A and B are shown apart, each in its own frame.
Chain A
Amino acid sequence: MSSDADKHECSCGKGLTRRQFLTSAGAGALIVTASGHLGKDQEASAAVIKSGEETKITLLINGKQFQMLVEPRWSLLYVLREELGFTATKEGCGRGECGACTVLIDGMPRYACMTLAVEAEGVEITTVEGLMKGEDLGPVQKAFVEHDAFQCGYCTPGQIMAVEGLLRKEPDPTVGQIRQGVSGNLCRCGAYPHIIDAARRAAEMKKSGAL
C-alpha cells in the first residue's frame, strides 16, 4: 500500500530483505543444477536422518550452552519454546509472516520459525530473556514500558528483538529506519506509533549508557 519515502535509506534491521532472500535462494538453485554430481556426494556420505530420529546438537542461547537431541525438522522456535521453555519467543504464524518469533542470531534479527534448530548450531542466539540482567529490564524493554509500546503484548518480544537488532547495527536510527526495522513484525493491536517512540527512546538510553 502506501509507499514510504524512507524505504530505501535503511540497510539495517532484518538480516535479509525478501528480495535478497529470493535472490540468494535462486542462486542456490542454480548451483545445484550446474553441478550434477552434488547429489551423489550426499548419497555417499552419512545416512539421511529421518523425521522422528533425533540428532544431537549444541545451541548457544543467551550465552549458555544447551546440548540436546532434536529431530532435524524441528524449528528453532519449537526447540526454544517447547524443549527449553524460552516462551517469551512467540509463535504467530510458524511460516515467516508475522515476526512474533524474532530472535537475534549473531546480533541480527531472524525469524526463529524459519530457522531449523540443527542450522542454529555454532551461532549466538539471543531471546528477550537474554536482554535481562537478572530481574532487571534492558534499555529497549524499559523504553517499551515507558512508551506503552504494546497492547496485548504478544508480538512484543519479537518487536523488542527487532529494535534491539536495529540498534546494535544502527545506534542512532532515523524514524524511517525504525519503521523499516520493525516492518517485519506485525502488531494487530496497532501499537506502531508507540513502538517507534520507544525505539527512539531506547536509542537515547543506550547512548547515555543508562541501563
Chain B
Amino acid sequence: MNESERNIYYLRGIPVPETPPPGKDPAPWKKTDIVGTSIPRVDAYERVSGTARYPSDIHLPRMLYAAVLRCPHPHAEVMNVDTSAAEGMPGVRAVISGITSDTDFAWWYSKEIKTKIFDPLCRFEGEEVAAVAAETAYQAWDAVRAITVEYKVLPFIAEESKSLDSSSPLLHPNGNTAKTDKYSRGDVGAGFSEADIVLDETYRTECELHMPMELHGCVASWDNDRLTIWESAQGVYSIQSRIAEILGLPLSKVRVIGHYMGGGFGSKLQPGKYTVIAALLAKKTGRPVRLFLTREETFLAVGNRPPATMQLKAGVKKDGTLTALEFSCIATGGAYPANGTGLVDWLVRDLYLCPNVKTETKDVYINAGPSRPFRAPGHPQAAWALEQMMDALAEQIGMDPIELRLKNIPSFSQGREGNPPYTTTGLRECLSEGAKAFGWEQARKYSSGSKENGHVKRGVGVASALWFAGGGNPPSTAVVKLFSDGSVNLNMGASDIGTGTKTVMTMIVSEELGVKPEMVQIEYADTATTQYATPSGGSKTVPTEGPAVRAAALSVKQQLLSFAAADLKTDESSLTLRGDEVISMKDPLVKVKIHDVTGLKKRGVIVGVGYRGPNPERKVVNPFAAQFCEVEVNTMTGEVRIIRFLGCHDSGRVMNRLTYDNQVFGGITMGIGLAMTEARILDRDQTGKMVNRNLHDYKLPTSLDVPKEMKSLPIEKPDDTANTIGAKGLGEPVTIPTAAAVANAVYHAVDVRMMKTPITPLQLCQALEKGGKEGSK
C-alpha cells in the first residue's frame, strides 16, 4: 500500500491542538481547522436518502398499531366505559381503559398533582380514556370509534382571565391558582418618581403549539421483563427514568432508543402518556406496539407555549436611563401544574440595566391541554412586551431605539442573587454591528419617507434578547474509541434533534485527532449502549456535550502518545500527533504510524472517556441576540409583508457556520409564526373545545411567509471561561426577539402598536381605524 492510500483517514499535514498532560484542562483552541468551518451534516445522506430510520418508521415483526380514545369534553367525569363491541372487532388484540386491570399507573405533569394514565376525571379536551391495539392502524381506529363512554359533562373554564372568578369551576381542590411567583429589587415607586417618562401597557401573546413534523409517539416491545422503546424524543435518558419510575422497573430493564427524531422544540423532553400506553398494550398482547398520535391529538395533548397577558410599566429618564420596570403576568399552563409562567419575567429582570424591578406572575388552571417547555420558555412572550416597551420609551424621549438599548447594557446578571457577571456578553455588538450590517439608519430614514406616499408603508424594527440558560452543565459522559486502523468511533448519549449535534461533535473529534470527519462514526441516543446525557433542551447540547467529547478525544490522544513513546523510546511530552503519525517535535525522523503503534495493536482499540467539567463559579453563561427586520404594511388590507430579516447572535464560538445560519433562520421563521399567524383558538363560550386543531386552520409559516432576504451575522466571541470549546447555546435565542422585532417594524411603518399576537389583518385594520398614535394607547 502506498503512502497516499494509507493516509486516507487523516487530514494530512494539519497540526492538531496541543495535548495537555493527564488530569489538566486543555487550553482554549487558538486556531481551528475544522471547528468553525461550514461542513454538511455527517448524517445528511441518511436524512435525504430516507435511510434515516425515525421512530415512526420502526416496523417490527408481529407489530400492532395502537390508537387512543380521548375525552371530547373540556371537563367531564368518565362514568362508564363499554369496550365490549370494540373487543370483538376484526384485528383487535387488546383494549384498555381506566376500568380494565393492569392500567392503574400514576401520571404527573409536575410532581405537585398526581393523576392516572386513564383518570376518571378528564380536565381537558383530549385526556386519555381508553386505548386499542390492532393488526392495522385502520382497525385500531375502527375499534376506538366503537367504544362507548358515558360522561358526566362538567362546567368548564377556557379563559385564564376568568379562571379565578368565583363563578368558575374548580379544576383542583385547592383552587385554580397553580402558582404565584414574586420578585423585587430596589424600589419601583422611587424609580418611577425619578423618571421623566412613565408608560404602562398591557400586552398579550397567544397560545402557540409546537407542531414538530414528526408526530409524538413510540414503539414499545417487551422481552420478558425488559422493555425497549423507540421514541421520538429529545433525550433518551429522560424517557428511560420517567418510564422506569411509572412502571416500577429498574433502569437497566428499560432501554430507550431515539436515533433520529423529527423535531420536538421542547415538547419531546419527556415521555407522554402515549409511551406508557404503548408499553401497557405491548405487555398485554405480548407483541410490539406502535403508538403515534394523529396530528389532531398533538394539538390537544402534548404541550404548548402558554398564552400570557402581561402588564408592563416602565420609567425612563430623558438621557435614556431606565429607572424602573414593573411587570405582572397572568398565564396558564392548562389543566395541571405545568409551569405556565416559567421564566416569563426573566427578560424584564435581566436584559437591561435597571435598579428597580418588581415582577409578579400567576399561573392559573383552565380546561385545556397542559403546556410543555417550548423553545425558550417565557422569553418570546416577555420580549413581545419588553421590546415593544423599549421602542415606545425611545420614541417618547426622542432617542433611536438602538441607542436606548445600548445605554442600558449590563455586564452582569441583575436577576440573580449577588449580581454575578456574564462570562461574555456580545449584546452591544449584536446591536451595533447588526445595525451596521442591516443599514439601520438609512433604512429607518427611507421607511419613514414611505409614510407620505401611497397605502403601502415601510418600517424597520429591532429587538434584542438574552437566553436564561444556554451555557450547558454537567453531567455528560462521552467515549471516543480509536480503532487499530486509525478510524474513530464516538459514543454519546445525547440526541441530535435537528440542530446538527452529531456534526458538531464529529468536528470536535476531528479537530483534536486530525482524523477526517467522514472517518468518525457516531453511536448515540441509546440508553443501553451510549453514555449518560441529559435531554437536548435549553440550548445546552453543544456547550454540554462538546467539552465532554473534547475531553474524550484528548484522553485517546494522551494514551496514544504514551504508547508511541514506548515504541520510540522517548518522552511522550516531546511527541505530537500529525496526520496519521505520531512524531517527535524535536526530531522529525523519530516517528511512528498510528496503525503501527504497538500498544494500540495489542489492545485493538484505545478508549478515551471524557466528562463535562463544572461551570465557572459565580459567573453566568448566557447567549445574546439582536434581530432586525423590515416590513411593508398594506394599510388598506392590513396585510404585513416581511421584506428582510437579520439575526445577529452572540453564542460564543461558531462551531459550524452552515448549521449555525440554518438555526438562525429557523428560529426567525418560528418567531414569524408567533408574530403573524399562530394562535390556539378555544371556543370559550359554547363548548370549550379547540376549534383550529389542524394545520389548515392553525397556520405554520410556509416558504411563502418567510422573507426572501434572511441574513445571519454571528458575533463570534469564543467564551473560554464558559467551557473548553468556547461555545454557548443557539437554538432558543434565535426565536426570542423575532415577534417583537416584527411588531416594532409594523409600528414604525404605520404608527400603531400591535398589543396582541398574532398580527392579523383584522387586528391591524382595527388598530388603523382607531388611528395613528392614539391607537397605540
Binding site for B on A (CB under 8 A): 1-4, 7, 51-52, 71, 73-74, 78, 81-82, 85-95, 97-98, 100, 127-129, 132, 137, 141, 144-146, 148, 150-157, 160, 175, 178-180, 182-196
Is B338's CB within 8 Å of the partner chain A? no
Is B252's CB within 8 Å of the partner chain A? no
A126 to B499, CA, bound (A): 29
For A7, give its contact among B663, B696, B700, B704 (CB under 8 Å).
B704
What residues of A have a CB within 8 angstroms of the CB of B499 in the complex? 151
Q: Is the CB of B48 within 8 A of A189?
A: no
Is B185's CB within 8 Å of the partner chain A? no
Q: Is the CB of B138 within 8 A of A51?
A: yes
Of the listed stretches B206-214, B431-439, B476-484, chain A binds B206-214
For B703, give its contact among A52, A132, A156, A183 (CB under 8 Å).
A183
Q: Is the CB of A154 within 8 A of B694?
A: no
A38 to B136, CA, bound (A): 33
Is B40's CB within 8 Å of the partner chain A? yes
Is B86's CB within 8 Å of the partner chain A? no
Q: Mark B41-75, 1 if CB is under 8 A from A, else 0.
A: 10111111111111011010000000000000000
Q: Is the CB of B59 within 8 A of A82?
A: yes
Is B295's CB within 8 Å of the partner chain A? yes
Which of A93, A150, A184, A196 has most chain B Cβ within 10 Å?
A93
For A82, give its contact among B137, B262, B665 (CB under 8 Å).
B137
From residue A139, how far is it (CB to closest CB) to chain B in Å? 11
Q: Is the CB of B703 within 8 A of A195?
A: yes
| Interchain Cβ contacts within 8 Å, total number | 198
In B249-306, which residues have CB < 8 Å from any A CB?
A: 260-263, 265, 292, 294-295
- Closest B residue to A130 by beta carbon equals B50
A100 and B213 contact, Cβ closer than 8 Å, known pairs A183-B702, A186-B702, A192-B703 = yes
What residues of A have a CB within 8 angstroms of the CB of B702 in the complex? 183-184, 186, 192
What residues of B have a CB within 8 angstroms of the CB of A193 in the complex? 665, 706, 710
Q: Is the CB of B50 within 8 A of A88?
A: yes
The DSSP consensus for interface residues of chain A is loop
Q: Is the CB of A81 within 8 A of B57?
A: yes
What residues of B have a CB within 8 angstroms of the CB of A160 in the complex? 48
- Closest A residue to B57 by beta carbon equals A87
From residue B642, how far is it (CB to closest CB) to chain A in Å? 6
From residue A128, how far is it (CB to closest CB) to chain B in Å? 5
Of the listed stretches B8-16, B402-410, B522-530, B666-674, chain A binds B666-674
Is B382's CB within 8 Å of the partner chain A? no
What residues of A have a CB within 8 angstroms of the CB of B138 in the complex? 51, 71, 73-74, 78
Binding site for A on B (CB under 8 A): 40-41, 43-54, 56-57, 59, 90-91, 136-139, 142, 210-215, 260-263, 265, 292, 294-295, 497-500, 634, 639-642, 658-659, 662-663, 665-670, 676-677, 694-696, 699-706, 708, 710
A88 to B53, CA, bound (A): 8
What residues of B have a CB within 8 angstroms of the CB of A178 in the complex? 703
Which of B51, B214, B705 has most chain A Cβ within 10 Å?
B214
What residues of B have a CB within 8 angstroms of the CB of A82 in the complex? 59, 136-137
A100 to B294, CA, bound (A): 14
From residue B406, how far is it (CB to closest CB) to chain A in Å? 29
What residues of B have a CB within 8 angstroms of the CB of A148 in the complex? 40-41, 44, 658-659, 662
A3 and B665 contact, Cβ closer than 8 Å, known pairs A74-B138, A97-B295, A182-B703 = no
Q: Is the CB of B263 within 8 A of A2?
A: no
A155 to B213, CA, bound (A): 7
From residue A21, how far is it (CB to closest CB) to chain B in Å? 13
Which of B142, B210, B262, B499 has most chain A Cβ within 10 Å?
B262
For B498, give its contact among A127, A157, A189 (CB under 8 Å).
A189
A153 to B700, CA, bound (A): 17
A86 to B47, CA, bound (A): 14
Q: Is the CB of B214 within 8 A of A186?
A: no
Q: Is the CB of A153 within 8 A of B52?
A: yes
- Closest A residue to B56 by beta carbon equals A91
For B215, give its contact among A51, A91, A187, A195 (CB under 8 Å).
A91
- Closest A residue to B211 by beta carbon equals A188
Q: Is the CB of B704 within 8 A of A188?
A: no
